[in-house]
Structure 1
Amino acid sequence: MSKFVVILKDKRNGELDSKLLGRHIDHLRQLNQAGQLMIAGPFKNNDHAMIILNCDDIDEAIALTEKDPFITEKYYHTYDINELIVANEENNWLMDNPQTKGNLIH
């Protein structure tokens, strides 16, 4: 599975009610139970939030994001999704990745 970073943007300030928040949390719980949620939360210093999803492809990531009540009810008006190339010890921190090699100055 691939990792997709979803950035929720353009928040309606001062308009979050407990029912909407509850529906959003239910959505996150469903994603978590299905093994599709890695992490989620708002940023401390701005009005954006982030969700990292485990999905087969970007179409699935878009579909899951568009089911989020924060999106369907326009609490966040827009979002960006990008596939994350995970760097970790198992893949030598991407040192052998073509993208990394293409960016190296020799």
Structure 2
Amino acid sequence: MYLTREEDIRYVILLSVIPGKEMSEDLIRAHVGHLKELDRQGKLVLCGPFTDYRGGMVIIKAASYEEAKAVAEKDPYVQAGVESYELRTWELSCEGNNHMGMG
């Protein structure tokens, strides 16, 4: 039986633009600053906007779901009320964990 290892968990923050809300250049820069700080801390894995949907995705490393939620809620887009978010726990399947014990 495979046991999930903490190092095999990432958190996916799915951001969705709230209809009717406007973004300013200052707000976009604040969001980018938030992402840069996550990167500086070694928490940012990947991020970027969707091309077919009004929103984006941020994948982070965090010690717990609660920490990941706090990161999502610190995002200037979320704090300003221009985007909502969904938080997902993502378990990696990779060579390092023998593809979750099935490889």
Describe the superposition over 1:46-97 as per-residue Cα deviations: whole angstroms up to 9, x where unpaired.
Answer: 1121000100000000001101101000120x21111111011112222439
Match of 1:65 among 68, 72, 84: 72
Question: What's the Cα RMSD here?
Answer: 1.8
Runs of 5+ unmatched residues, structure 1: 98-106
SS in 2 for 1:65: helix
In 2, Cα distance between equivalents of 1:30 and 1:63: 14
TM-score (norm 2): 0.83
Name which one, 1 or 2, has greater alpha-carbon Rg: 1
> Do residues 45 (structure 1) and 49 (structure 2) align?
no
How many residues were matched structurally?
A: 96
Determine the structure 2 residue equivalent to 1:104. none
TM-score (norm 1): 0.81
In 1, Cα distance between equivalents of 2:82 and 2:87: 17
Give the share of equivalent positions with the same residue, in percent. Answer: 27
SS in 1 for 2:31: helix
Runs of 5+ unmatched residues, structure 2: 1-6
